């Protein structure tokens, strides 16, 4: 993994969402070329994959407070 890939993987979700919003705005611009649209699409798909990975990590770290007051690991089946 190169340094650029490592830096993009450490971005917070909010930053990635902002970039996705920017990409969407650019893709809706009729002056954007087809090649640029494909490049934006590729970047957006990488960002979405990163968001999914980050959300999976967050989900694994979540804790639930059980009825008896004990903290239990989130298993996603409630």
> Which pLDDT does position 1 carry in this prediction?
46
User: Is 58 contained in some domain?
Assistant: yes
Task: Provide the whole-model pTM.
Answer: 0.68
> Which pLDDT does position 67 carry in this prediction?
65
User: Is 27 contained in some domain?
Assistant: yes
**C-alpha to C-alpha distances, 41 to 10, 32, 38, 71, nearest whole angstrom:** 21, 12, 5, 41
> Which pLDDT does position 5 carry in this prediction?
52
User: What residues make up the domain containing 39?
Assistant: 3-73
> Which pLDDT does position 74 carry in this prediction?
66
> Which pLDDT does position 10 carry in this prediction?
80
Q: What is the mean pLDDT of each run of 10 residues along the chain (78 residues)?
A: 54 95 97 97 97 87 68 64
In the chain, how many domains are there? 1
């Amino acid at each position: 993994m190169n340094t650029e890939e490592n830096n993009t993987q450490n971005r917070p979700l909010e930053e990635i969402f902002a970039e996705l919003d920017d990409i969407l705005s650019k893709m809706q611009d009729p002056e954007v070329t087809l090649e640029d649209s494909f490049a934006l699409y590729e970047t957006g798909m990488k960002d979405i994959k990163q968001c999914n990975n980050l959300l999976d990590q967050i989900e694994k770290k979540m804790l639930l407070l059980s009825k008896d007051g004990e903290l239990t690991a989130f298993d996603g089946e409630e």
